[in-house]
Structure 1
Amino acid sequence: MGKKVYCLQPENTAVHFNSSIASQIELITHNQSMVIVKTHAGSAQLVARLIDFDPDPSILGTVGGNDTVLIIPKSVEEIDLCELAVRRRLGVF
């Protein structure tokens, strides 16, 4: 008898979303070292995934919790550009 195996298919299609994702965002801000996106409860991992799927070169990576996404910039000297890239990606200005 064969083994049961769980396998995820690779993602090769673009993630599309409409402006409703902006309705999940409460705040986008930054300090000297990272950008923070505050979301409604349960939305942070989706938001992080949207940022990670097609990242801007100014973004090194994200960590999504329940209602907060931490975005790590590639360079802290360009933190303003990183926040702007996040705002553009999420459609929040």
Structure 2
Amino acid sequence: MLGYGFSNTGLQKTAGEMAFELGRRPTDKPLSNSWLYSLLNRWKENVTSLKPPALDSNRAKYVTPESVDQYFKNLNKAVGSLGLNEKPECIYNLDENWHQSRA
């Protein structure tokens, strides 16, 4: 689907907030590095932690306010046409190259 992935820090922060909202933790502080590494180890067949490559200069020059605006228009159109506006739990992010690492 269209979108961006989580950094490790972002994943720890979001998971901590979710655990708090679900009543599993007394605080919404980010989860520990130990939790993160355990999660990645348990799901090593399904989850990868990747550092995105630097944005090349040719690609960067085409990132304009208009292209960003068009991206979000396309994203909203795709989410709406798939009936996902009220179902964010059904939206996933995949790296374009995910299939290459699983071959």
TM-score normalized with structure 2 length: 0.25
For the pair shown, the structure with the greater C-alpha radius of gyration is 2
TM-score normalized with structure 1 length: 0.27
